[in-house]
Amino acid sequence: MNMDQDITNQLLQQESEEKQALALLLERYLSREDQLFVQKTQMGNTQSYLGSVTLEWLASRVHFALQLPLFRRKYDPKTNNIIRDSETVEELQQRPLDWSRQAHLAQYLAVLNNHKFPPILVVISQDWVNDPDAPEWDINNRAKVSVDEFLPLDKNDSIGLLNIGENYSIFALDGQHRLMGIQGLMELLKTGNLEVYNKVKKATGNPITLDDLIEEYDLDPIALQSLAKEKIGIEIIPAVIKGETYEEARRRVRSVFVHVNRMAISLSKGQLVLLNEDDGFAIVSRRLAITHPLLKDRDEKDWNSRVNWDSATIANKSTVLTTLQALQDMTEGYLEYKFPHWKSKDKKNLISLRPDDEEIEEGLYYLSKVFDGLANLPSYRQLEHGVKTYELRRFNHEKGGGEGNFLFRPVGQIALTQALGYLVFSENFDLETIINKLIYFDEIGGFSYMDTSQSMWYGILYDPMKKRIQVSGKKLASRLLIYLLGGVNDDLEKAEITRALAEARTIKDAATNEEKTIDFQGNFVNPKNVGLPNILVDS
């Protein structure tokens, strides 16, 4: 037994010594800044190396793909984008860099504890690649060596050290906006400021300051500076492989560049709401969509067909009542007066953080209450009797005809909930009283036949010339609802609504090219004679 124990102890001692030797060996190699510990991979003809680097290293060493020499002739250094013309439009599939995203991405890394970026795909190159007279090219213009220098540490050549010294240039093929965000974070940490840009890298608004972030989100300055040493995954492919011509190498790299961006399908607005775990309005709207009876179809086989989860629009024959994107806008429109801190801090260009669970439950409670009330509107109650949403949504002139009902158009739904949120939370109106007024208004047809001149929404949410919904009228529609429900007492504001209403109902006569204003009886009148509808009174 003692002999067995001795053998076991010897084996354990040997294993421990081997681990220590390996650790010392790796430390000696990994302490060099010009080498990266990697694992070699192969997919198809594409060889690559997987490793990890600090955010600080990535920001300083990696360039944007369109700075590659093969694009440089058509490269705009101010925006880091390609100049699109007849020579480049057929070749480049990458979306232009959107610099308006940099500030949000940098803040995401700085503010959220659970931040995470996927690995970035890069190409590594050397100066000789773009020099046709370099000795690395043979007489047939084929590369004598690969551009990458890999030192294997195992017999299978699968793990080892990749040379990434200063004589190498590295460019991001996939993950350019992630690179942009990381560069923004490094700038913020080093200078204390980060410029906020529009899409084409023109400064707009106030810069973000480190002091603002620390104060707003109660951040630890020391922990913030440590972000520079955080590590991100990186996958590296060589610009030239041994035996390739320059053109073959260029074609291979560009093919990877195109394919990774074609495969990266953008999420729809609905999908973004569905996945968003930081926006309080998105979280509440999502939970309401799967719990409230008005938003669930009674057919068990299609229980969620009242909400379009992906698209921001509704097809002509669709049976949905609204879209998830519209539902988030409705949630924000109603709850922003109760929870203004849920919104991003626009004045300082700061992002919003996820509310605590108690506030989310409270928000869901308030939103459910208003939807309980809306479910009692006569138009919505028709759904209980089998009437299809498209029968109530479509305009009379559309194929199949319909009622053209305000309540079945997302823009109308958003305008209504914005008005209700203002009245309930800013003006302390009683929700039940408001709902009773809306029920009466619905009973007399106030929400129906938007495509007729008798409708209050004619010219506001319905464009009589183009015969379609007019989203630009949403703000006026909300103001008009606030007025109807008794929320406007200022004479100057009433006059402004009157003017805006008359202007919305003014169209240009195609025959005479004259502007004509239509009143609520369908007559052409002087704009001053349109007036305002009567305020709704308690029933």
DSSP label of 69: T
* pLDDT digit string, tens, across residues 407-430: 999 999 999 999 999 999 999 999
pLDDT band (50, 70, 90) for residue 273: low
pLDDT exceeds 80 at position 300: no
Place of tokens 């590594």: 124
Q: Please indicate, yes or no, whether residues 247 and 285 belong to a single structural domain of this protein.
A: no
pLDDT exceeds 80 at position 176: yes
The pLDDT score that the predictor gives to residue 29 is 65
pLDDT exceeds 50 at position 186: yes
Neighbours of 467 (CB within 10 A): 11
The pLDDT score that the predictor gives to residue 370 is 97
pLDDT exceeds 90 at position 510: no
pLDDT exceeds 70 at position 452: yes
For residues 437 and 339, give the distance between their C-alpha atoms in angstroms, rounded to a whole number. 26
Compute the residue count for the chain: 539
Q: Please indicate, yes or no, whether residues 384 and 418 belong to a single structural domain of this protein.
A: yes
Please report whether residue 24 resides in a domain: no
Of 88 and 333, the one with more pLDDT? 333
Place of tokens 């801090």: 345
- For strands 75-76 and 81-82, give the pairing: antiparallel
The pLDDT score that the predictor gives to residue 98 is 86
Please report whether residue 2 resides in a domain: no
156: exposed, middle or buried (Cβ count in 10 Å: 0-12, 13-18, 19+): exposed
Please report whether residue 424 resides in a domain: yes
Locate 470 and state its tokens: 């007019």
The pLDDT score that the predictor gives to residue 139 is 93
The pLDDT score that the predictor gives to residue 363 is 95
Q: Please indicate, yes or no, whether residues 66 and 188 belong to a single structural domain of this protein.
A: yes
Of 364 and 299, the one with more pLDDT? 364
pLDDT exceeds 90 at position 120: yes
Q: Please indicate, yes or no, whether residues 246 and 114 belong to a single structural domain of this protein.
A: yes
The pLDDT score that the predictor gives to residue 88 is 43
Strand partners, 339: none
- CA-based nearest residue to 121, from 221, 229, 218, 234: 234
Please report whether residue 139 resides in a domain: yes
For residues 320 and 303, give the distance between their C-alpha atoms in angstroms, rounded to a whole number. 11
pLDDT band (50, 70, 90) for residue 265: low
Neighbours of 6 (CB within 10 A): 10
Last residue of a domain, one of 266, 299, 325: 266
- CA-based nearest residue to 482, from 411, 409, 408, 425: 425
Q: Please indicate, yes or no, whether residues 254 and 271 belong to a single structural domain of this protein.
A: no
Q: Which of 65-69, 144-148, 307-311, 365-369 has the lowest mean pLDDT?
A: 65-69
Q: Please indicate, yes or no, whether residues 495 and 510 belong to a single structural domain of this protein.
A: yes
Q: Please indicate, yes or no, whether residues 289 and 308 belong to a single structural domain of this protein.
A: yes
Q: What's the chain's average pLDDT?
A: 86
Please report whether residue 487 resides in a domain: yes
Q: Please indicate, yes or no, whether residues 301 and 408 belong to a single structural domain of this protein.
A: no
The pLDDT score that the predictor gives to residue 539 is 60
Locate 325 and state its tokens: 């994107």
Helices 176-191 and 210-217, axial angle in degrees (round to 10): 90
pLDDT exceeds 90 at position 27: no
Measured CA to CA in angstroms, residue 219 lies from 19, 108, 183, 230, 353 at distances of 39, 13, 20, 17, 13
Q: Please indicate, yes or no, whether residues 175 and 321 belong to a single structural domain of this protein.
A: no
The pLDDT score that the predictor gives to residue 85 is 45
**Domain extent for 463:** 376-539
Please report whether residue 457 resides in a domain: yes
Locate 137 and state its tokens: 């090219």
Locate 1 and state its tokens: 């037994």
Q: Please indicate, yes or no, whether residues 355 and 451 belong to a single structural domain of this protein.
A: no
Is 172 strand, coil or helix? Answer: strand
Please report whether residue 21 resides in a domain: no
Q: Please indicate, yes or no, whether residues 46 and 193 belong to a single structural domain of this protein.
A: yes
The continuous run of DSSP H or E covering 293 comes out as none
Q: What is the pTM of this model?
A: 0.73
Task: Judge whether 369 and 410 are in contact, CB under 8 Å.
Answer: no
pLDDT-above-90 percentage for the chain: 53
The continuous run of DSSP H or E covering 182 comes out as helix 176-191
The pLDDT score that the predictor gives to residue 90 is 38
The pLDDT score that the predictor gives to residue 267 is 60
Neighbours of 142 (CB within 10 A): 16
Domain count, the chain: 3
pLDDT exceeds 50 at position 332: yes
Q: Please indicate, yes or no, whether residues 223 and 354 belong to a single structural domain of this protein.
A: no
